[in-house]
Structure formats: C-alpha cells, structure tokens
C-alpha cells in the first residue's frame, strides 16, 4: 500500500498472536478495519502518517481471522468487539480513541456505550448499519461482501472497484495484497463469520436508534457516493438526531479514507487531537 509501510509488530491478545502497525506518539488512536473479505490493518496504511501528524499515536491491528492475526472458533461480532479492549490491555492502554470503518463503526459505538471510561473519542467511518433505513427498506449490515468460493485476482479487483471512487488507487500491488488477505485461512474465517451472523442481540433495538445515548464525543464520516442510498440515509439520521456530528464527503465511496485521505485526516485528526 505504501513504500514507507511501517514494520509489522505482534502481541498476544486473548491467546491469539495479533499483528499491528503504528506511527507517531501521543494519545492513542486505534484504527479498526471493516469485515469485508480481505480487510486488514493495511487498509489504513495511507492514513497513518497524516493522522500521526496531529500529535497522535496511531495503531491499526488485524482483527482475529483477518490479515496476519490468528483466529479462534468464535467468529462473532461480540467477540471481535470485546477483542478491542483486550488489545488495549495487551498494549498497556487504559484509554484510547477509536476509529471504526464499516462494521467496526459498530464496535466503536458499542464500546462508547458500554465502556465509556475506556473510549476517549469515537470516529465512525462508512458504517451503513448506523444510519436509519429508508422507509420500507430493510436494515443494512456490513461484512457479507464476498462469494462462496475463494476470489480470483479479478474478483478482488472488482470488489475494490465497487468500494473506491478513485479507480486509479487500485494498483496491481493493492490488488495483490488484498487478494493475499482474502484467501486461505482468512477465506475460511470469512465463511465462518457468515455462519455466525444473526445470533447476537436478537430482538434488541438497532444500534442506530441509540446514537443519541452516546456520551463520548463522536464524529461520523460517510462517502456521499457510498452504497445503500448512504447520502439520503445520512440526512435521515440528522433529522432524527439533529445534534449528530455527521459529515458527507463528495466523490467518495465506501473506502472514504482512500478516496479523500487529506479531508479524512483533517476531519478525524483534528477531532481526535482536540
């Protein structure tokens, strides 16, 4: 993803060898990647230096079953949410800011609600399930993007093209890395996550309905061209919760921090450093 990519580091978390990368010094920020097939800490590589320039220690890690981290039999959203404070413990962090992309935006909000003493500030990035559905439409989730067979390189390229507005960013190196993170043990974990979906918080209110309960400072960032009528649903969210700190960035799809890295660093970096 970058010629100056940071060196891989490893720490044991909940008995799992976990890979992470980091830049900078200062208050800790954890960057949480999404759940799509091939996701890993590498999706943040191009953002590390710009965020660290705000006087922050920026850390991105591979969640269990993603990237180069080990996995366990529990592939649930609940386990991966609990893994975040466990990772903080492993690094000796009592408190950290959380930046969650796609499905991981739910982790950031859930922890802000359940463990606010451990979350400094929260930034939600392109989490469709945290926006109200359009009237008559089904609620949207994240993390199911992928097929029943291991992807080819062309499948991986096509999946990236669906999530990035600036096609020139999808270089052969980017596709090759994403493809490596989409096969073997990571593909098997992806299938296991699919099977585990739907069993948690059954019957409880959707998390988007609880946004008004979050007392931790929170900013939401979405791409205006993201899937699922994102722009319209973002406006519905602002109608429902007028005090939301929500930003729509034009000419951006699901990987907002790729399409508009400078704007993303400005919105997220200044907010987290303030």
| pLDDT of amino acid 203 | 58
Q: Strand, coil or helix: what is 140?
A: coil
Which run of H or E residues covers position 98?
A: strand 96-101
Query: Is the separation of the CB atoms in 29 and 51 below 8 Å?
Result: yes
Of 52, 50, 103, give the one whose Cα is nearest residue 254: 103
155-176 residues labelled b (16+ CB within 10 A) or e (exposed): bbbebbeebbbeeebbeeebbe
Q: How far is CA 63 from CA 25, 38, 75, 140, 203, in A?
A: 22, 11, 10, 22, 27
- Over the stretch 190-242, which tens digit does the pLDDT of each residue have? 999 998 876 555 557 899 999 999 999 999 999 999 999 999 999 999 999 99
| pLDDT of amino acid 1 | 44
Q: How far is it, in rounded angstroms, from Cα 106 to Cα 126?
A: 10
Of 16, 188, 13, 15, give the one whose Cα is nearest residue 30: 13
The answer to whether the Cα torsion of 127, 188, 156, 263 is positive or negative is: positive
Q: What is the CATH number of the domain that holds 34?
A: 3.40.50.1820
Does some domain include residue 1?
Answer: no
> What does the CA dihedral 178, 180, 184, 187 come to, rounded to 10 degrees?
0
Question: How many C-alpha atoms does 173 have within 13 Å on its Cβ side?
Answer: 7
Does some domain include residue 210?
Answer: yes
Contacts 24+ apart (CB under 8 A), 150-154: 150/182, 150/183, 150/187, 151/37, 151/38, 151/179, 151/182, 151/183, 151/187, 153/179
Domain that holds residue 207: 9-273
Does some domain include residue 2?
Answer: no
Q: How far is it, in rounded angstroms, from Cα 86 to Cα 88?
A: 5
Number of domains in the chain: 1
Does some domain include residue 24?
Answer: yes
Does some domain include residue 122?
Answer: yes
- In degrees and rounded to multiples of 5, residue 80 shows phi and psi of -70, -30
What order do you get walking across the sheet with 28-32 strand by strand? Answer: 9-13, 16-23, 57-61, 28-32, 96-101, 119-125, 218-223, 246-249
Supply 30's token pair. 């954890």
| pLDDT of amino acid 152 | 97
| pLDDT of amino acid 147 | 77
Q: Strand, coil or helix: what is 249?
A: strand
Query: Is the separation of the CB atoms in 56 and 272 below 8 Å?
Result: yes
Does some domain include residue 36?
Answer: yes
**Residue ranges of the chain with pLDDT lower than 50?**
1-3
| pLDDT of amino acid 204 | 75
Does some domain include residue 3?
Answer: no
- pTM beyond 0.75, yes or no: yes
């Amino acid at each position: 993803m970058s010629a100056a990519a940071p060196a891989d580091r490893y720490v044991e978390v909940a008995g799992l060898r976990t890979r992470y990368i980091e830049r900078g010094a200062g208050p800790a920020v954890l960057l949480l990647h999404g759940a799509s097939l091939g996701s890993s800490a590498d999706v943040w590589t191009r953002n590390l230096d710009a965020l660290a320039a705000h006087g922050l220690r920026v850390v991105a890690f591979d969640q269990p079953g993603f990237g180069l981290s080990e996995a366990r039999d529990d592939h649930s959203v609940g386990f991966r949410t609990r893994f975040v404070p466990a990772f903080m413990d492993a690094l000796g962090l009592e408190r950290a800011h959380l930046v969650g992309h796609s499905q991981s935006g739910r982790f950031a909000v859930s922890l802000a609600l359940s463990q606010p003493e451990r979350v400094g500030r929260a930034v939600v990035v392109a989490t469709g399930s945290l926006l109200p559905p359009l009237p008559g439409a089904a609620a949207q989730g994240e993390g199911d993007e992928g097929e029943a067979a291991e992807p080819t390189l062309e499948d991986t390229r096509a999946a990236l093209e669906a999530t990035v507005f600036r096609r020139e960013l999808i270089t052969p190196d980017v596709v090759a890395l994403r493809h490596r993170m989409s096969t073997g043990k990571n593909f098997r974990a992806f299938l296991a996550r699919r099977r585990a979906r739907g069993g948690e918080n059954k019957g409880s209110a959707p998390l988007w309905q609880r946004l008004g309960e979050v007392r931790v400072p929170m900013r939401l960032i979405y791409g205006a061209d993201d899937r699922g009528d994102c722009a319209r649903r973002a406006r519905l969210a602002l109608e429902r919760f007028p005090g939301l700190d929500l930003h729509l960035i034009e000419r951006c799809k699901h990987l907002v921090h790729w399409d508009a890295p400078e704007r993303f660093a400005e919105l997220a970096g200044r907010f987290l450093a303030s």
